[in-house]
Structure 1
């Protein structure tokens, strides 16, 4: 079968949306003279055809609560069609209040679709770095320009530097998807190159400081300033392996929900998301569809807040590997009933050319136990087998959606490419790519080899490299590139392509290309 090829020249000639490819976002910190209030940078997110969300946080003392006191501060914002702000097309002011850690979330509307914009903030005489963002393409028949985006996850601060984000910021992208584990609540791993400040956070102040620590990284700031982001969460934003209202670390459910409320609040305060995602205590609705013209629907999901408790294991732990009838129970849900119903409606709705299901962890079945016995990781989709079957059935039932569906996944600290099948020997109904981890340590080569040997639908796997994934889409085909950091312990490390894959529209399944 011949698979469509997308060359970089063809991509740019076809009108790739990202502009000013040489824009020096990596030099923002050095070039801005009045950053005292804007130590955490700027960001944009949730791009729509007529606007986007702009974010910043005033924090002159970011690692000690922010240093802003209790008084509100007026923050002015501007959006321009040029980097020099010669033509400002939108402006206004927002109030940075102590109750939101002096963060602001500006929802800009009324702009033309499918083009870049530049933005900045001013407060108390200080001016922020300049960010670049863009509106999504219009939902019209001629809005079929190629799209290019990156997806990433798992950026444990202590285990490495963010060279992957330095590389990402230099790419010609339309947007970025972050699949969770933006922060880590706990310290773990080996060969640390930097360290967390404070212990495991359980209250709002601790979570705020942890986010501030991560967001002081200049390469992470550069990637945020270069493109709009779509963001969801996984477990480490709250507690390792938590499921709904329980955590392996916290015995009392009410106590854990108080921790979850603090963690969700801090997440909102530090993400470029709209007010509709602001938590209500321990609850927040963050899943939804994001359309990019007629080319792409991104179905962004929440895999933690609503899931059934772990199966097969005594107590609240998600380890070790296990197997039992309970993991197959039809009532078990990974997304929860309401989100499953929403996803089913989206799969049945008229689709864009491509659908990306953005979700936190490896969806493909993965028998991980060595030898002839079976063993599954209960914190992953194998602990929710019936829910996975319902999802794959939905993709198969709606071939216009499923036949052009890519699943973008994170969490497992390895690169994977998989054919998603309803039955072991059946045809692929969608294609899955797991984009490694920005810094977090991965599985051993022996464990990866065992998984590849026991699960033939896993077509590619590698756990010894850190990095992220790039996706390029046009009306006929898709290319996915895994980009790997030579050494995440080196802030100046080189980053290069490690593997490339192609998927033809209407023909799901992994095709490995030469690098």
Structure 2
């Protein structure tokens, strides 16, 4: 099938992806297998990710009780949804030590085309997933993608994912806070699973249980099954506001906690085997090209960062401080990405591409709460890029110096939508614009009062749009000379069947970093 969107009949079929099990199969490999009973063995659905021109990653996880330590899982990849033309097949061992997850990596695929995939184990067949490869290096193919972030389970339902499935994009870019480690709280829309002593996630069992809960959501399963994903994390996959190996509570065992969180993250998501964590480390920063159209660069904003400036006594994590009272903010050696990743990013930009897309976790545009009558009272939130202003300026100055084409920053984290133009030096009146930023709101996590966002819009005219009272995602269509973006906002975040509206539309030309409202 060509790389264009499916026709209406196929589109209707795709809406059911990820919802329920397929028919039973016989003839599995003669290895120790769990009994062929009524337990669903693919209860968390399927997923794909990391699309390259010739390869990608297929994911699933075996579920249910009485699973052996090792189970052989068969996989198939077909050029049609009926699996009449199977182009690749193989098997993987699902091991208990990795939560019986499967990360298959078919290669030698055709570039720029759609595929369908499924798994078989224990006499059962998984739901069918739809995925695609990236275009060939010399192809100028358009890209339809969405960005999303911050899907806190107990803050609302995820109707937004239902509408992503209906769009059937080429690619889904998730920008962090896939799970929330928070303890269960009463009176929520739906409850986080309770952990011992009512605490937040700390152990491998805790993080596995939290990921498993999130994976039961049918809308999220369908979104994973509709298109390949590229993913980065932010803080809540481990702990709120952590930085490097420093936890919010300065706990001495935080390295072990982070290692547990990273392991569960890899187990439950479509990352390649090469990304499997080693100790407390897991590499997620990466880059790849969408033909000759765009380079996508994905950053890690947590693992290598310096601790937030001027933390409260006896605490890690972030705070809000008066800028004039925190000398650490002016230390040019501090980095949000870590110096090694900063250097890797500087080498990753591709001036030959029409577009350079930067997927990173938090708001990059300036959002310091200023007092127009008393500059000494300016307030800085230390967890965001404002808390690492010199690092932000180094990044944007490199974009200017290397004349990077079509630089678009894709952000999340702050539970609000901001659409902004970025200057190389936000404090210099004559500094040129070098990039645009589309910071998407949350799938469900609550935002702050809209009045605070309105105040920021008054202070920063280069921020063209700001809404903290909307939940949803951003939808983009990228062509050689133009990026079109839509702010998609669900009408009722507490209703899993909520309808959606397009709250705003924007356009950016590849040749100049200026936001146009359309």
TM-score, scaled relative to structure 1: 0.91
Tell me the secondary structure at the aligned position of residue 121 of structure 1. Answer: strand
* Aligned counterpart in structure 2 of residue 420 of structure 1, from 397, 419, 422: 422
Q: Is the 8 A contact 2:285 2:300 kept in 1?
A: yes
The 1:234/1:188 distance shift into structure 2, 3 A limit, reads: farther
Offset of residue 423 of structure 1: 3.1
Q: Where do 5+ consecutive residues of structure 2 fail to align?
A: 25-38
Partner residue of 2:178? 182
The CA RMSD measured in Å over matched residues stands at 1.8
Offset of residue 313 of structure 1: 2.7
Q: Is the 8 A contact 2:19 2:221 kept in 1?
A: no
The 1:238/1:18 distance shift into structure 2, 3 A limit, reads: farther
- Bigger CA drift: 362-371 or 413-422? 362-371
Partner residue of 1:158? 154
Output the CA distance in 2 between the equivalents of 1:325 and 1:250. 22
Output the CA distance in 2 between the equivalents of 1:53 and 1:27. 18
Q: Is the 8 A contact 2:184 2:193 kept in 1?
A: no
Q: Is the 8 A contact 1:435 1:469 kept in 2?
A: yes
Give yes or no for the alignment of 1:126 onto 2:119: no
Partner residue of 2:364? 363
Partner residue of 1:275? 273
Offset of residue 337 of structure 1: 1.3
Offset of residue 124 of structure 1: 1.0
Give yes or no for the alignment of 1:388 onto 2:392: yes
Q: Is the 8 A contact 1:312 1:322 kept in 2?
A: no
Output the CA distance in 1 between the equivalents of 2:457 and 2:388. 21
Offset of residue 193 of structure 1: 1.3
Output the CA distance in 2 between the equivalents of 1:475 and 1:191. 48
The 1:319/1:354 distance shift into structure 2, 3 A limit, reads: same
Output the CA distance in 1 between the equivalents of 2:69 and 2:425. 60
Partner residue of 1:110? 108
Output the CA distance in 2 between the equivalents of 1:484 and 1:431. 21
* Aligned counterpart in structure 1 of residue 474 of structure 2, from 466, 469, 472: 469
Partner residue of 2:221? 221
Output the CA distance in 1 between the equivalents of 2:12 and 2:288. 27
Output the CA distance in 1 between the equivalents of 2:270 and 2:46. 9
Q: Is the 8 A contact 1:413 1:437 kept in 2?
A: yes
Partner residue of 2:241? 241
Tell me the secondary structure at the aligned position of residue 359 of structure 1. Answer: strand
Output the CA distance in 2 between the equivalents of 1:258 and 1:25. 40
Q: Is the 8 A contact 1:18 1:174 kept in 2?
A: no
Output the CA distance in 1 between the equivalents of 2:106 and 2:264. 22
* Aligned counterpart in structure 1 of residue 345 of structure 2, from 340, 343, 359: 343
Offset of residue 328 of structure 1: 2.1
The 1:374/1:229 distance shift into structure 2, 3 A limit, reads: same
Partner residue of 1:334? 336
Offset of residue 172 of structure 1: 3.2
Output the CA distance in 2 between the equivalents of 1:351 and 1:299. 14
Give yes or no for the alignment of 1:431 onto 2:431: no
Offset of residue 509 of structure 1: 1.9
* Aligned counterpart in structure 1 of residue 190 of structure 2, from 194, 211, 234: 194
* Aligned counterpart in structure 1 of residue 19 of structure 2, from 23, 29, 40: 29
Output the CA distance in 1 between the equivalents of 2:6 and 2:145. 10
Output the CA distance in 2 between the equivalents of 1:23 and 1:505. 35
* Aligned counterpart in structure 2 of residue 481 of structure 1, from 486, 489, 502: 486
* Aligned counterpart in structure 2 of residue 504 of structure 1, from 506, 509, 512: 509
Offset of residue 189 of structure 1: 8.3
Tell me the secondary structure at the aligned position of residue 391 of structure 2. Answer: helix
Tell me the secondary structure at the aligned position of residue 313 of structure 1. Answer: coil
Q: Is the 8 A contact 1:16 1:145 kept in 2?
A: no
Offset of residue 325 of structure 1: 2.6
Partner residue of 2:451? 446
Output the CA distance in 1 between the equivalents of 2:18 and 2:273. 28
TM-score, scaled relative to structure 2: 0.91
Q: Where do 5+ consecutive residues of structure 1 fail to align?
A: 1-13, 61-66
Offset of residue 23 of structure 1: 3.1
* Aligned counterpart in structure 2 of residue 406 of structure 1, from 405, 408, 413: 408
Tell me the matched-pair count: 487
Q: Is the 8 A contact 1:59 1:68 kept in 2?
A: no
Partner residue of 1:48? 52
Tell me the secondary structure at the aligned position of residue 47 of structure 1. Answer: coil
Tell me the secondary structure at the aligned position of residue 23 of structure 1. Answer: helix
Partner residue of 1:4? none
Give yes or no for the alignment of 1:378 onto 2:382: yes
Tell me the secondary structure at the aligned position of residue 157 of structure 2. Answer: coil
Q: Is the 8 A contact 1:322 1:378 kept in 2?
A: no
Q: Is the 8 A contact 1:26 1:219 kept in 2?
A: no
Offset of residue 247 of structure 1: 1.3
Q: Could you list the per-position Cα deviations for residues 361-409 of structure 1 after superposition, in whole angstroms to 9, with x for gaps in the alignment? A: 001111135664311110000111110010000111121x2x4110000
Q: Could you list the per-position Cα deviations for residues 170-202 of structure 1 after superposition, in whole angstroms to 9, with x for gaps in the alignment? A: 113111000110000004889621111123111
Q: Could you list the per-position Cα deviations for residues 40-72 of structure 1 after superposition, in whole angstroms to 9, with x for gaps in the alignment? A: 000000000001100000012xxxxxx354520
Partner residue of 2:34? none
Output the CA distance in 2 between the equivalents of 1:319 and 1:312. 8
Q: Is the 8 A contact 1:159 1:439 kept in 2?
A: yes
- Bigger CA drift: 466-475 or 187-196? 187-196
Q: Could you list the per-position Cα deviations for residues 270-323 of structure 1 after superposition, in whole angstroms to 9, with x for gaps in the alignment? A: 110101211111101110102110111110000000001111233424123442
The 1:189/1:385 distance shift into structure 2, 3 A limit, reads: farther
Output the CA distance in 2 between the equivalents of 1:127 and 1:25. 19
Output the CA distance in 1 between the equivalents of 2:184 and 2:46. 29
Partner residue of 2:30? none
